[in-house]
Amino acid sequence: MHKHHRALGLAAAPSGTRSGAEIAKLRPVEPVTLLRPHAARRAARFFVEKFPGRSLYAVKANPSPELLRVLWEAGVTHYDVASIGEVRLVHDVLPEATLCFMHPVKAEEAIAEAYFDHGVRTFSLDTVEELEKIVRATSKDGVPASDLNLLVRIRVSSDHAKLSLASKFGADPRDVSALLMAARQAADALGICFHVGSQAMTPAAFAEAMTRVRTAIVDAAVTVDIVDVGGGFPSSYPGMEPPPLETYFAVIHETFESLPISYSAELWCEPGRALCAEYASVLVRVEKRRGDELYINDGAYGALFDAAHIGWRYPVRLIRDRSSRVRPMQFSFYGPTCDDLDRMAGPFELPGDIGPGDYIEIGMLGAYGCAMRTQFNGFGAVATEVVDDEPMASLYGAAADDTRSNVVTL
C-alpha cells in the first residue's frame, strides 16, 4: 500500500492524526484506508505465544509488504504462499522467511522456481499427479530431491464455517491411504493438512477434522511428521461473535496429542483473517441517500467485495461534526461504479439521519478487503493513513470503548 497524499489533500494535515475521526476532519473526497499496525502486531504475538505449535501467515488474506514486516517483527517466521507471485513477494520482502507453497494445484514451472530460486521446501498436494509433478520439478539431473516436506491435503467438512472451502481441494477419502504412502516415499517429512473453511464459528470444526486425520493415519499406517490444521480461525463481525481463540487452541492441542504420530511431530496452523482483519478499516463518504440506501465512494470492486458477493456484514460507525439522537436504521450500500452488482445488502445499522457528506468507518477490512481492490471504472486510488486507535472489534480484548456507539463526533 502506498500513501496518495495528493488525492487526499493531506499536505495540510496536522501532525498526530491518529484516528478515523481525525482523518475525517480533513474532508477526504476519496476513501481512506486506516492502518493499525499495533493491532496486527498484537494478533501475531497472540498466535506466536499461545498456539501450541507453529503459525504460518496465509499471505492471500493481505499481501501488503508493510503488514508482512509487522508480522515478521512480531515473531511470525513462516508464510503460507499460494502462488509464485506470493513466493516472489515474500522472498523479496522477507528474505529470511520460511515459505510453504500450500496451494494443492501448481504449475510445474512455479514449483521449480520456488524450490531452486527461492528455497521453498514445503509443498501441499491432494493427488498422485500433483505429487509426481512436485518430484519432477524438484529433481536435478534426474536425481529426486531429498529435502521435501510434503503435506497431503485431505477433504474435511466446512459445515461449521461461514465460507466453505470443502469442495475445491482435498483428497477423496478413498484415495488418501495410497497417496500418503506414495508421498511418504518421496518426502523427508510427511504431513497431513486440511482447511475447515473460513470463519469457523466453533472449535468443533477442528475436532471433527482431526478425527479424519486420525483415520487417515491409521488406515495408511505411515509415520506422520507434520499435522497442519490450516486456517479458519475467526474474527468478530456483527452477527458473528465466536468463542475465544484459546478454546480453539485447547481443542486442537488435545486432539493433536492423541494422534498416532511421530514423537517429534510438529503442529502447524495457517491463520490469515485472524492475523490481519483488525489491521485495517476504510473511511468512506456518503454521496447520496435514497430511502434506506446509501451511495458511498467504495464498494464491491474495492474493499467491500465480501460484503457484496457473500453478504459479509462489517461493523460500521458514523463520523461527522454533530451528534445524533435519531434512532438507528438498517441501510444497504451502493458503491461508486455503474454496476447494479456494486451493492452491499448488509444490513448496516446507522443513525436514521445520516446523509450526503457524512463519513462512515467500515471496520475489520484488513482481511481480504485491501487485497481484493480493483481499478474498475477508474476507482481504486485509495489513500492510506496509519492510526493508533483500537479496531472496531477485537478477539484480543482490545476493541475501543467508543465503538459501543455507532456515532463518533468530530
Return the higher-pLDDT residue of 159 and 177. Answer: 177
Residues 6+ apart with CB under 8 A from 224: 180, 190, 191, 192, 217, 259, 261, 262, 265
The per-residue pLDDT for 57 is 98
CATH architecture of 5-36+279-409: Beta Barrel (2.40)
In tens, the pLDDT along 104-154 reads: 999 999 999 999 999 999 999 999 999 999 999 999 999 999 999 999 999
The per-residue pLDDT for 405 is 61
With contact defined as beta carbons under 8 Å apart, do 395 and 245 qualify? yes
CATH architecture of 38-276: Alpha-Beta Barrel (3.20)
The per-residue pLDDT for 401 is 47
Residues 6+ apart with CB under 8 A from 117: none
Percent of the chain exceeding pLDDT 90 equals: 77
Instruction: Tell whether the model's pLDDT for residue 224 goes beyond 50.
Output: yes
Using 50, 70 and 90 to split pLDDT, how confident is the model at 12? very low
The per-residue pLDDT for 158 is 74
Instruction: Tell whether the model's pLDDT for residue 165 goes beyond 60.
Output: yes
The per-residue pLDDT for 398 is 63
In tens, the pLDDT along 182-218 reads: 999 999 999 999 999 888 889 999 999 999 999 999 9
In tens, the pLDDT along 81-102 reads: 999 999 999 999 999 999 999 9
User: pTM of the predicted model, to two decimals?
Assistant: 0.91
HSE toward the beta carbon, residue 131, CA cutoff 13 A: 22
The 8-class DSSP code of residue 166 comes to: S
Strand pairing class (407-409; 316-320):
parallel
Instruction: Tell whether the model's pLDDT for residue 11 goes beyond 90.
Output: no
Identical fold for domains 5-36+279-409 and 38-276, yes or no, is no
Using 50, 70 and 90 to split pLDDT, how confident is the model at 340? confident
Instruction: Tell whether the model's pLDDT for residue 293 goes beyond 60.
Output: yes
Q: Average pLDDT of the chain?
A: 90
Beta bridge partners of 284: 360
The per-residue pLDDT for 372 is 86
Query: What ranges do the domains of the chain cover?
Result: 5-36+279-409, 38-276
The grid cell for 44 is 501475531
Using 50, 70 and 90 to split pLDDT, how confident is the model at 229? very high
**d(Cα 83, Cα 67) in Å, to the nearest integer?**
18
